[in-house]
Amino acid sequence: MNGTSKGACVIGHPIAHSRSPMIHGYWLKQLGLEGHYNREDILPENFALFVRSLREHGYVGCNVTLPHKEAAFQLLDRASPRAQQLQVANTLWFEGDVLCGDNTDVEGFVANLDERAPQWDKNLKKAVVLGAGGAAASIIVGLQERGATDIRLVNRTYEKAEILAKRFGTSVHPTRWTELTDSFDDADILVNTTSLGMKGQAELDVDLDLLPLKTLVTDIVYVPLETGILRQAKQRGNPIADGLGMLLYQAVPGFEHWFGKRPKVTLELRALIEDNIKGLSA
Ligand code: ATR
């Protein structure tokens, strides 16, 4: 690393399993750019100070992940319209001394589906979203922007679905977990935004028997690549899209801000991360 090499990082807690260094490292190499990208394990109580002194740590910007995305938004001098809409930020950079931030999860979600399930938004009307936690808001916005007019927000804790639904207008209908299969009727897409099905977590216990065969099933969990719900959907003949591309595409704008070139999500990059995930889940 020399004095002119630009640095960026991903800040989270825990952060050891983040694949962001692999992604940005691949792009730096592929584009022949000087630069580095590190993991930074920062406790919530130290987060604000760390971000304020980002440049003293040698960074031109950073990604922010759990549990800091809301705190990151609060620290911004200038938030993108998307970050303002969601009140969370996952990508930070400086313009002069101004700390700027964006939320790139919506872009990541839709770009993944555009790649893995082309035409998925043609005649998109009804969506079923599982979960009302941190990730659900970005998914709802992505679905609305691509034309969904009836979004069933299904959550174990109904009150959380009610609160989230209110933020996004009358097209979002809070739904009890016990009414999940009733919501399947004529659904164009089913999205899991909960962490269930992730390696080390409980399986998502959902019976897809009543789901129309046309319904695209997708998951934001990508470890394992084929989660239980995706396997079940594939076996009965539904189209599926795994969540890895969301991770890859949400990383694109940050790289461009920090290193000055817009990188491409290539099949080679996908294969690299897939191999890493398969190695771990084997
Ligand atoms: P947070 O709410 O802190 O943002 P998250 O991990 O982003 O957390 O969200 C967790 C989501 O998974 C929530 O929708 C949660 O449902 P509750 O709101 O009822 O907690 C959902 N979830 C977690 N464990 C679950 C389970 N065993 N069954 C059903 N849903 C579950």
* Predicted local distance difference test score (pLDDT) of residue 110: 98
Instruction: Check if the beta carbon of residue 73 is closer than 8 Å to that of residue 80.
Output: no
* Predicted local distance difference test score (pLDDT) of residue 273: 98
Query: How large is the average pLDDT for residues 206-221?
Result: 97
Instruction: Check if the beta carbon of residue 8 is closer than 8 Å to that of residue 59.
Output: yes
C-alpha of residue 198 to centroid of ligand 1, in Å: 12
Among protein residues, the one whose CA lies closest to atom 30 of ligand 1: 156
Ligand 1 mutation target, pool 90, 156, 162, 206, most atoms within 8 A of CB: 156
Beta strands in 21-107 (DSSP E): 35-41, 61-64, 78-79, 91-95, 98-102
Query: How large is the average pLDDT for residues 87-103?
Result: 98
The C-alpha atoms of residue 92 and residue 170 are separated, in whole angstroms, by: 32
For residue 153, give both structure tokens. 């927000």
Decide the pairing of beta strands 126-130 and 150-155. parallel
What backbone torsions phi and psi does residue 88 show, to the nearest 5 degrees?
-140, 150
* Predicted local distance difference test score (pLDDT) of residue 279: 87
Query: How large is the average pLDDT for residues 264-273?
Result: 98
C-alpha of residue 228 to centroid of ligand 1, in Å: 17
Domains delineated in the chain: 6-104+251-277 (3.40.50.10860), 106-245 (3.40.50.720)
In Å, what is the CA distance from 88 to each residue of 104, 124, 145, 146, 152? 10, 26, 18, 21, 23
* Predicted local distance difference test score (pLDDT) of residue 281: 53
Decide the pairing of beta strands 91-95 and 98-102. antiparallel
Among protein residues, the one whose CA lies closest to atom 1 of ligand 1: 133
Say yes or no to pLDDT of 2 above 80. no
Of 240, 253, 195, which Cα lies nearest the Cα of 213?
240
Q: Which of 6, 29, 69, 166 is catalytic?
A: 69
- Confidence tier at 245 by pLDDT (50, 70, 90): very high
Express as a percent the part of the chain with pLDDT over 90. Answer: 96
Query: How large is the average pLDDT for residues 38-54?
Result: 98
The C-alpha atoms of residue 81 and residue 116 are separated, in whole angstroms, by: 27
- Confidence tier at 3 by pLDDT (50, 70, 90): low
DSSP state at residue 130? E
The C-alpha atoms of residue 128 and residue 130 are separated, in whole angstroms, by: 7
Beta-bridged to residue 40, according to DSSP, are 11
Ligand 1 mutation target, pool 129, 176, 195, most atoms within 8 A of CB: 195
Kindly report, residue by residue over 106-139, the tens digit of the pLDDT. 999 999 999 999 999 999 999 999 999 989 999 9
Three-state DSSP at 24 gives helix
Ligand 1 mutation target, pool 194, 201, 206, most atoms within 8 A of CB: 194
The C-alpha atoms of residue 94 and residue 77 are separated, in whole angstroms, by: 10
Residues with CB under 6 A from ligand 1: 131-135, 155-157, 160, 194-196, 202
Instruction: Check if the beta carbon of residue 207 is closer than 8 Å to that of residue 264.
Output: no
Q: Is 278 a catalytic residue?
A: no
- Confidence tier at 236 by pLDDT (50, 70, 90): very high
Say yes or no to pLDDT of 282 above 90. no
Among protein residues, the one whose CA lies closest to atom 12 of ligand 1: 194
* Predicted local distance difference test score (pLDDT) of residue 158: 98
Three-state DSSP at 239 gives coil
* Predicted local distance difference test score (pLDDT) of residue 214: 98
C-alpha of residue 130 to centroid of ligand 1, in Å: 9
Q: Answer yes or no: pTM beyond 0.75.
A: yes
The C-alpha atoms of residue 119 and residue 142 are separated, in whole angstroms, by: 15
Query: How large is the average pLDDT for residues 26-42?
Result: 98
More confident residue, 136 or 279: 136
CA angle (277 as vertex; 189, 280 as ends), nearest 5: 130
- Confidence tier at 78 by pLDDT (50, 70, 90): very high
Q: Which atom of ligand 1 is nearest to the CA of 67?
A: 3
Say yes or no to pLDDT of 162 above 70. yes
